[in-house]
A and B are shown apart, each in its own frame.
Chain A
Amino acid sequence: MSAVSLNHTPKAVERWSPTREAWRRLRRHRSAQIGMIILGLMVLVAIFAPLIAPYDPVKQMQNVKRREPPCIHLLGCPAEKPEHLFGIDGNFRDLFSRVVFGSRLSLQIGFATIGFAILVGGLLGAVSAYAGGWVDNLIMRTMDVLMAFPSLLLAIAIVAVLGTGLINALLAIGIVSIPRYARLVRATVLQVREMEYVQASRALGAGGLHILFLRILPNAITPLIVQGTLGIAGAIIDAAALSFLGLGAEPPTPEWGLMLGEERNSVFNAPHLVFFPGLAIMLTVLSFNLLGDGLRDALDPRLRGNVS
């Protein structure tokens, strides 16, 4: 630390790119640190799920008792019994393996839905701001209507139309997330469009798409990263909620919300079946929320709002 500050010549500072500067601030941000550690672990678990999980997440096992509580050798479970860290679920499966595989699904769900929402919302927002007039009005009023519903309820209604199932649930969550990104991109485009460097680019003969994608939209990346990270947290929770209600993932998929929903009536006699999947959801969502807060502080001090 001291060596760094001694060599802290202005020249060295100038060479730091904004990305590097942001990364430095992010690394020092307490909640971002915690978020990145949890998320890093989750990603590792997801990647190496087949190596970590001792059993098949879907196949039923023989010779185990239904809803048996956890058996951990370190905590005094007799060594001759097979180890089941999180116990056995209602269908004779190892809960730990299911929770481990669930991390894959939840991360995919988060990135897929928000990726979809950013893509569609960003496009709508850009078109809206660029076209103006009735197109702008039509798109933005539609967004207003979508926002007039509580998001989870709109997602439920969309699932009602599309039919239940994981893909439809994801589509529904993606759709209800669109307005936020559409508004964000529209606001950025409107703000930047008339700036001098954009005019300069136009004067140099750049085409509309070139200006939009290379000159204007890069300005939206920072807020999109922040909003997207926080959005992933919300999407994971909403997807789990839909599965919990029986409108999302179908058995025997190892999805955390579904695991909770299937076993919610056994909370009193087999609490482990409810405790672990819920804890997994909470930790994953927490990591994205903390990282999102950190990113907001590191990338864009202007967005600094309700930060702890």
Chain B
Amino acid sequence: MLQFITRRLILLVPVLIGVLLVTFIIVRAIPGDPCKVMLGERATEEKCAEFRERYGLNDNLLVQFGRFLVNMGKGDLGVSIRFGQPVVSLIAARLPMTIELTIGAMLFSTIVGVFLGIISALKRNTIVDTLTMVIANVGVSMPVFWLGLVLAYVFALLLKDTPFFLPPSARLTSGLALTQLADYWGLKDMSGFQKFVVDFLTHSLLVNALATGNWKLLGDGLRHLILPSVAVGTIPMAIIARMTRSSLLEVLGQDYIRTARAKGLPYNKVITRHALSNAMIPIVTIIGLETGALLSGAVLTETVFNLPGVGTALVGAILARDYPVVQGFTLVVAMVFILVNLLVDISYAYLDPRIRLE
């Protein structure tokens, strides 16, 4: 197993270098003078000279890339032009929201998708099966941002005075706020990695609420997370449902299932112990492959629900031409994506021993 993980990590190196190169190029490939683009058309020649000096734009590209890598190693992603803050601290503030949303969507899509898939495989060719597959087909074609708006309309307006009311926007009800954990824990003068971690934890709702014992905050935050998670999770849910169905049907047709039944094992046990555990492998693969869709969906849904996450920051930065932020956030999302894919690889090597030996 360890050998397998090591091999996977080594395979990642060229991809990582490529991703760094792409994010590096993105900022350099902007047409026009970077100084005029970033500081505005009215920037004077002196200011531009100073700007180029500060960002090292006078050196050749190889030197610049080297410096970019070194800075990256030190955890320095530059400074936001718009906010004057280090990009890293913006990431610490925004990334937790997106991760929460992605996890929420993943839970929704996996639980509902696998459930629907199993039901539809076991009730094959009945009305239940047809209905489930109609849901799956429509779900795959659902524009995430539209679904988000429709959900907001239904649950926040139509169901306004019922117990099913769900808030249509923002992360918390106004009046509630996340506690600054640095103050709460009495930490002072932090810098570098430690500051990043504490900032990150501060903005992670679950950690924040648990650490401070603020249950009201937790409940409110989770309620705000339901609609966006459903919106983001619908496409993966549909794909997982279809995959679960076909995977389970294939396994159910095999001889060892008949043998297990013939031995006199109860039906439920055959399904859970024999069929599902083998049908899980392609399902886990699909769940992993859908992470990209989840992250992309999260970016869109944050805009719909006004959530302070990576997506809203990225789009805002593009519209404001805040390129250090664009660069930093693109890089971080790619890293998260690569990391999740690695975890998926490892998890199905764990589920299916044959993969380890390849």
Contact = CB atoms under 8 A, between A and B. Distances in A.
A281 B138 contact: no
B187 interface: no
Interface in A113-162: 141-142, 144-146, 148-154, 156-162
B318 A141 contact: no
Contacts, number: 151
25 contacts: A144-B14, A149-B19, A149-B337, A150-B295, A150-B296, A150-B333, A151-B296, A152-B300, A153-B296, A153-B299, A153-B330, A157-B23, A158-B26, A162-B31, A241-B296, A260-B146, A268-B153, A274-B146, A274-B150, A277-B146, A278-B149, A286-B141, A289-B140, A306-B239, A306-B247
Contacts of A260: 143, 145-146, 149
Contacts of B317: 160
B217 interface: no
Given A141-B18, A267-B153, A308 B300 contact: no
B242 interface: yes
A278 B146 contact: yes
Given A157-B26, A164-B319, A308-B136, 20 more contacts: A145-B15, A145-B22, A151-B296, A156-B299, A157-B326, A160-B318, A241-B143, A241-B145, A244-B145, A244-B300, A246-B315, A246-B319, A247-B315, A268-B153, A274-B150, A275-B150, A277-B146, A281-B143, A281-B146, A308-B133
A145 B26 contact: no
A237 B143 contact: yes
Select the residue from B31, B318, B330 with max chain A CB neighbours within 10 A: B318
Q: Most A CB atoms within 10 A — which of B19, B141, B293?
A: B141
B318 A156 contact: yes
Interface string B128-147: 00000100111011111111
B246 A290 contact: no
Interface in B148-182: 149-150, 152-153, 156-157, 168
Given A149-B333, A150-B296, A151-B292, A240 B143 contact: yes
B203 interface: no
B243 interface: yes
Interface size class of A (residues with CB under 8 A): 35 or more
B94 interface: no
B338 interface: yes
Contacts of A144: 14-15, 18
A57 B146 CA distance: 21
A148 B300 contact: no
**Interface class of chain B by DSSP:** helix
A153 B329 CA distance: 10
Contacts of B136: 308
A146 B338 CA distance: 12
B293 A150 contact: yes
Given A282-B138, A282-B143, A307 B246 contact: yes
Contact of B296 (A152, A164, A278, A307): A152
Contact of A267 (B152, B242, B300, B323): B152
Given A141-B18, A148-B334, A278 B143 contact: yes
Given A150-B296, A156-B318, A241-B300, A282 B146 contact: yes
Contacts of A249: none
Interface in A260-308: 260-261, 264, 267-268, 271, 274-275, 277-279, 281-282, 285-286, 289-290, 305-308
Given A141-B14, A308-B133, A159 B318 contact: yes
A231 to B, nearest CB: 14
B314 A308 contact: no
Interface string A25-36: 000000100000
A233 interface: yes
A306 B137 contact: no
A141 B11 CA distance: 11
Nearest to A240: B143
B205 interface: no
B304 interface: yes
B353 to A, nearest CB: 24
A153 B333 CA distance: 8
A279 to B, nearest CB: 8
Given A159-B318, A274-B149, A285-B143, A308 B242 contact: yes
Interface in B292-314: 292-293, 295-296, 299-300, 303-304, 314
Contacts of B9: none
Given A149-B333, A305-B246, A267 B149 contact: yes
| Chain A to chain B: the 7 pairs with minimum beta-carbon distance, closest first | A278-B146, A145-B18, A152-B296, A150-B292, A286-B141, A308-B133, A285-B141
Contacts of B304: 264
B246 A274 contact: no
B144 A241 contact: yes
Contacts of B150: 274-275, 278
B74 to A, nearest CB: 23
A150 B21 CA distance: 16
B146 A156 contact: no
Contacts of B14: 141, 144
A233 B141 contact: yes
A290 B137 contact: yes
A22 interface: no
A247 B303 CA distance: 13
